[in-house]
Amino acid sequence: MVVSNIDLTTDLPTMKPSTFLESSIKDFTLNINNDYRYLKTGYYVSLHAEILGNQVIPSSEDIVDAYRTPILLLRASKAGIPTVPYIVTSSVKQIIAEIGFPVILFAVNPFSYDGFRIAKNRSALYRAAKSLEMNYKFPVCAQPLKGEVVSFKSIFGKCEIDEKIRKISEMVYEVFGIPLCKLHVQRVEKEAYLCGLQPLKKEELLPNDLKTISEEIWQISKNGEHRVG
């Protein structure tokens, strides 16, 4: 069963999230959503499927972990995905002392949509931290900026970038099972390192992306309940 808030081109039957959340259908559930953040509709679809006893992609646990940058990086590192060092803190002084400049900051608070901020000096760091911490209510995840940040769409782990980044995209999907997301990766010389993950906006999904999504759904339906078609 495919539950999607996106208009797809697949011939397979799909159900709108609002309809599914009012149902008691017991079936393997493929949850297609541009935004799986905690307390968003995409999250509730997976949670509802689990309450019904359904196998679901992605799981609510993987959603929560993937959208918390420190947990994302911890689980990714344990799975062999290249990551950069990071600290979780509310202290600008600690960031300066342990990381220095330039530095890249990701929000840890569960309500942030924006991806990250880059700070190259003290004043920029204070502004970025204040913004991402929601006036110091939450810490940030700070990482050294060692190269170029590449942000891209990952669709069932697929992306059209170089081999190192493609491998990271594939591995993130294998570990977390998030069908649609935006990944942030640092490219440092010939290497690549995972930095963060965030939701996609619907307008970022192009016709070719919808075609890819539909093809992947068909492969999963043909091969059974597997993450990779």
DSSP character at residue 193: E
Task: Write down the residue that tokens 């995209």 correspond to.
Answer: 169
Give residue 21's pLDDT.
98
Q: What is the pLDDT of residue 220?
A: 86
- Give the pLDDT confidence of 126-180 residue by residue, as tens digits: 999 998 987 777 899 999 999 999 999 999 999 989 999 999 999 999 999 999 9
Instruction: Please give the pLDDT value at position 113.
Output: 67
For 27-41, how does the pLDDT look when each residue is reduced to its tens digit (9 = 90+)? 999 999 999 999 999
CATH of the domain at 109: 3.30.1490
Express each pLDDT in 75-119 by its tens digit: 999 999 999 999 999 999 999 999 999 999 999 987 776 779 999
Whether residue 228 lies inside any domain: the answer is no
Predicted confidence at residue 30, as pLDDT, reads 96
Q: If you average pLDDT over residues 60-73, what whole number do you get?
A: 96
At CB < 8 A and 24+ separation, what contacts does 49-56 make? 49/3, 49/20, 52/24, 52/25, 52/26, 53/26, 54/1, 54/25, 54/26, 54/27, 54/28, 54/29, 55/28, 55/29, 55/225, 56/28, 56/29, 56/30, 56/31
User: Quick check: is 203 in a domain?
Assistant: no
Please report the pLDDT score of residue 225 as a whole number. Answer: 54
CB 186 within 8 A of CB 147: yes
Question: 179 and 219: one domain?
Answer: no
**Tokens found for residue 104:** 């890249």
Rg (CA), the chain: 18
Say if residue 140 is in the same domain as residue 153: no
Q: Are residues 183 and 167 in the same domain?
A: yes
Is pLDDT at 229 greater than 70 in this prediction?
no
pLDDT attached to residue 138: 87
For the chain, the domain total comes to 3
Domain assignment of residue 112, given as a range = 87-144
- What distance in Å separates the CA atoms of residue 45 and residue 23, rounded to the nearest whole number? 11
Q: Are residues 193 and 213 in the same domain?
A: no
CA distances from 55 to 27, 52, 147, 167 (A): 7, 9, 39, 26
pLDDT in tens, 175-227: 999 999 999 999 999 999 999 999 999 999 999 999 999 999 988 887 765 44
Report d(CA 95, CA 141) in Å as an integer: 10
160 and 186 assigned to the same domain:
yes
Q: Does any domain span residue 76?
A: yes
Cβ distance 38 to 110 under 8 Å? yes
The whole-number pLDDT of residue 221 equals 81
Question: pLDDT for 161-170, tens place per residue?
Answer: 999 999 999 9
